[in-house]
């Protein structure tokens, strides 16, 4: 908080009051991390797994329907990347966000490389060789493809770093003999990793 030299609070105090009023006005809008219920605000119950699947499928289907109606020549791969971006922005988990960012970049690269411009979909019978696709890339797609590759490397690095940190933490655990036996005999055969018990 900034205080004026003459000891008066002045503009700094007004700014603090304004911010507090704004925060209090916006506070009821904070509903926490993304929940599927946000996509169906008229529903007053907690969604089951089946309900979430239906909401997700409806959202994706509606997106494609609107794309077909309003922009029939749009790239399907790029549109799929936008849908993945929506879900990544809605996700509170940073690793999930990075995983979806990698998926988004892969979908966008696929859309830019393998889809014919203004055709709207991958042409049937087209050669899907990455080397041939890179050799015939459209000039306007060079930089988006470059940046998507860069994003894959950056996000992949942080995903790998997170995985290695989790495994290093788990391997640093010194379990008692009975704990080791419990993990080895009960949890390891079920596919649980040591990192899940750190």
The pLDDT tens digits for 76-133 are 777 777 788 777 777 767 888 889 889 888 888 887 777 766 555 555 445 567 777 7
What's the whole-number mean pLDDT along residues 142-158?
89
- 33 Ramachandran zone, left/alpha/beta (phi>0; psi -120 to 50): beta
Q: CB of 1 within 8 A of CB of 12?
A: yes
Instruction: Give pLDDT, residue 1.
Output: 45
Instruction: Give pLDDT, residue 153.
Output: 94
Q: CB of 56 within 8 A of CB of 49?
A: no
What distance separates the 2 farthest-apart alpha carbons in the chain? 78
Coil/strand/helix, residue 49: helix
Q: CB of 154 within 8 A of CB of 160?
A: no
Nearest to 68 by CA among 27, 139, 111, 120: 120
CA distance readout (Å), 128 to 7, 133, 136, 178, 185: 71, 7, 12, 54, 46
Q: CB of 79 within 8 A of CB of 63?
A: yes
- Quick check: pTM over 0.85? no
Segment 125-148, tens digit of pLDDT: 455 677 777 777 777 778 888 889
d(CA 92, CA 195): 21
Kindly tell me if the per-residue pLDDT of 3 is higher than 60: no
Beta bridge partners of 115: 122
Percent of the chain beyond pLDDT 70? Answer: 76
Segment 16-53, tens digit of pLDDT: 778 788 888 888 777 666 677 777 878 888 888 898 88
Mean pLDDT of the chain: 76
Coil/strand/helix, residue 119: coil
Confidence of residue 173 (pLDDT cuts 50, 70, 90): low
d(CA 81, CA 165): 29
Q: CB of 82 within 8 A of CB of 101?
A: no
Kindly tell me if the per-residue pLDDT of 60 is higher than 70: yes
What's the whole-number mean pLDDT along residues 58-75?
80
**Distance from the Cα of residue 138 to its chain's centroid:** 27
d(CA 85, CA 63): 13
């Amino acid at each position: 908080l900034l205080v004026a030299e003459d000891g008066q609070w002045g503009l700094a105090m007004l700014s603090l009051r304004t911010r507090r009023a704004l925060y209090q006005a916006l506070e009821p809008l904070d509903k926490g991390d993304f929940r599927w219920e946000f996509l169906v605000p008229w529903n007053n119950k907690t969604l089951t797994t089946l309900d979430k699947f239906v909401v997700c499928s409806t959202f994706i289907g509606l997106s494609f329907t609107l794309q077909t109606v309003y922009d029939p020549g749009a790239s399907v791969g790029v549109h799929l990347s936008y849908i993945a971006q929506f879900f990544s922005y809605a996700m509170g988990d940073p690793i999930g966000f990075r995983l979806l960012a990698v998926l988004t970049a892969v979908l966008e690269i696929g859309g830019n490389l393998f889809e014919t411009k203004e055709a709207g979909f991958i042409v049937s019978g087209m050669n899907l060789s990455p080397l041939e696709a890179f050799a015939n890339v459209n000039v306007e797609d060079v930089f988006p493809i470059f940046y998507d590759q860069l994003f894959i490397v950056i996000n992949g690095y942080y995903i790998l770093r997170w995985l290695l940190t989790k495994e290093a933490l788990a391997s640093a655990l010194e379990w008692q003999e009975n704990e080791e036996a419990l993990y080895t005999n009960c949890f390891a055969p079920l596919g649980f990793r040591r990192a899940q018990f750190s």
